[in-house]
């Protein structure tokens, strides 16, 4: 799923990220400030070593509330120091005093009138340490950041979207095509890409058709994979066994496939990422609305100012495809995958509506300095965009390396 670079002419810095949680700090930029009164307590928290859901589970247990009634604006990685806001109904600020949770620090507590919803943030601010950089790293990083500020950041999801084996999108692809035996094989994984010995042995036995041997080999923590094999051993068809996996996990696979198709469209247009084509659906960065480009020459100055950008679909059954040359690219990709947008209309709550997403995003407040063999980077991105899209342009890692980044 690798893509070429927008800044190919600028050398990479190399280096390592996320050697410690302190090396990667991400802080949400709120869409609005809490007003000070209402039924929901907005907590700004700093966490380390926990996913957003794990952090919310700890808060819910400590405060005696249901996790499903809590709200969040964005999901944040466990392998980082992250500052984000969550909302909790029916809790007062004084109830937070003295609360002591491992891996969680409360920064502020203010009341507000509504539950926090996914997407209720303007963006994220990042402070990242890249260790053991090479050559004239500071000069190269400055040049890359300058180019990204001028031309925009390729809005890639990147490798971290595709799971630890880099194949989540392949499970999603098989699900959409109703190729359930292939989906089951991808859930277990390609043994050649698995480093854990027991998992690898389980995947090898599964591939060889030895279901009992696979079940015996897999680590106990791999509950979903074990449940899948038990269903197959009980004689259930592959379709029922695969669709019996948790809905949240199945949607994650389908979303990964959507992301992989989007990344392919970004790669196809990378050389002219900010150039509008006739029929493009241009994305307004100010409000997220899209409009059809009738006269590219008339609209191009706005694109040059990064007010608008070409967009591509996260394919789904309701998404609008572009017209003209851009539409031909989008339809050709669907055809190559033997899919129609209608195929994303699935049962069991798995339907994917789809949406338009800009091919590039603005980079704000970019800064860099060197400290010994390390680079210290700071920058902001809109919500839904990944720091790894910036880091891969700066570092230009080997093709098989995976950068893990928050958004």
CATH no. for residue 206? Answer: 1.10.1510
Q: Is residue 198 part of a domain?
A: yes
Give the pLDDT band of residue 267 (cuts 50, 70, 90).
very high
Pairing state between β 24-30 and 81-89: parallel
Q: What is the structure's pLDDT at 407?
A: 61
Taking alpha carbons only, the member of 7, 25, 24 closest to residue 396 is: 7
Q: Is residue 7 part of a domain?
A: no
Compute the 3-state secondary structure of the chain and give helix, strand, coil in percent, each to the nearest 5. 40, 20, 40
Contact status, residue 403 vs residue 159, Cβ threshold 8 Å: yes
219 and 300 both lie in a single domain: no
pLDDT surpasses 80 at 399: no
pLDDT digits (tens, 9 = 90+) for 284-304: 999 999 999 999 999 999 999
pLDDT digits (tens, 9 = 90+) for 16-56: 998 888 999 999 999 999 999 999 999 999 999 899 999 99
pLDDT digits (tens, 9 = 90+) for 125-165: 999 999 999 989 999 999 999 999 999 999 999 888 898 89
Q: What is the structure's pLDDT at 395?
A: 96
Q: What is the structure's pLDDT at 159?
A: 85
Q: Which position among 23, 69, 77, 373 bears the catalytic label?
A: 77
pLDDT digits (tens, 9 = 90+) for 205-255: 999 999 999 999 999 999 999 999 999 999 999 999 999 999 999 999 999
Looking at every residue in the chain, the average pLDDT score rounds to 94
* C-alpha to C-alpha distances, 228 to 161, 200, 242, 274, nearest whole angstrom: 23, 16, 6, 45
Q: Is residue 281 part of a domain?
A: yes
Catalytic residue flag (residue 77) = yes
Q: Which two tokens stand for residue 214?
A: 């696979």
Q: Is residue 138 part of a domain?
A: no
- Residue 347: give the domain boundaries: 269-361
CATH no. for residue 79? Answer: 3.30.2350.20
State phi, psi for 102 to the nearest 5 degrees.
-65, 130
In total, how many domains does the chain have?
3
Q: Is residue 156 part of a domain?
A: no
Q: How far apart are alpha carbons 270 and 265 in whole angstroms?
A: 8
């Amino acid at each position: 799923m690798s893509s070429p670079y927008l800044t190919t002419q600028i050398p990479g810095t190399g280096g390592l990220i996320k050697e410690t949680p302190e090396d990667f700090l991400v802080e949400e930029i709120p869409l609005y400030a809490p007003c000070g009164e209402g039924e929901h307590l907005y907590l700004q928290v700093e966490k380390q070593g926990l996913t957003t859901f794990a952090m919310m589970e700890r808060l819910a247990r400590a405060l005696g509330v249901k996790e499903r009634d809590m709200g969040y604006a964005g999901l944040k990685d466990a392998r980082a120091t992250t500052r984000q806001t969550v909302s909790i109904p029916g809790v007062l600020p004084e109830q937070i005093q003295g609360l002591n949770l491992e891996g969680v620090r409360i920064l502020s507590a203010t009341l507000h009138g509504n539950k926090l919803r996914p997407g209720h943030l303007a963006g994220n601010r990042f402070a990242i340490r890249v260790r053991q950089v090479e050559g004239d790293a500071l000069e190269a990083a400055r040049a890359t950041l300058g180019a990204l500020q001028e031309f925009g950041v390729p809005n890639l999801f990147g490798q971290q979207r595709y799971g630890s084996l880099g194949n989540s999108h392949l499970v999603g692809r098989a699900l959409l095509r109703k190729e359930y035996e292939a989906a089951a094989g991808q859930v277990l994984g390609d043994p050649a890409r698995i480093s854990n010995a027991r998992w690898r042995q389980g995947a090898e036995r599964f591939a060889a058709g030895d279901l009992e041997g696979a079940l015996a080999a897999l680590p106990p923590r791999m509950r979903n994979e074990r449940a899948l094999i038990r269903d197959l051993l009980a004689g259930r068809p592959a379709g029922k066994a695969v669709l019996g996996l948790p809905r949240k996990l199945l949607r994650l696979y389908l979303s990964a496939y959507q992301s992989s198709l989007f990344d392919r469209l970004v790669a196809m247009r990378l050389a002219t990422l900010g150039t509008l084509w006739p029929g493009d659906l241009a994305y307004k960065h100010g409000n997220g609305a899209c409009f059809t480009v009738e006269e590219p020459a008339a609209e191009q100055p706005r694109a040059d100012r990064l007010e608008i950008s070409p967009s591509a679909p996260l394919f789904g059954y309701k998404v609008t495809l572009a017209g003209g040359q851009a539409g031909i690219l989008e339809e050709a990709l669907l055809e190559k995958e033997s899919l129609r947008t209608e195929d994303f209309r699935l049962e069991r709550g798995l339907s994917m509506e789809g949406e338009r997403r800009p091919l590039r995003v603005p980079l704000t407040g970019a800064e860099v300095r060197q400290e010994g063999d390390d680079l210290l980077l700071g920058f902001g991105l809109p919500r839904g965009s990944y720091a790894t899209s910036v880091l891969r342009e700066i570092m230009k890692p080997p093709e098989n390396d995976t950068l893990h980044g928050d958004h």
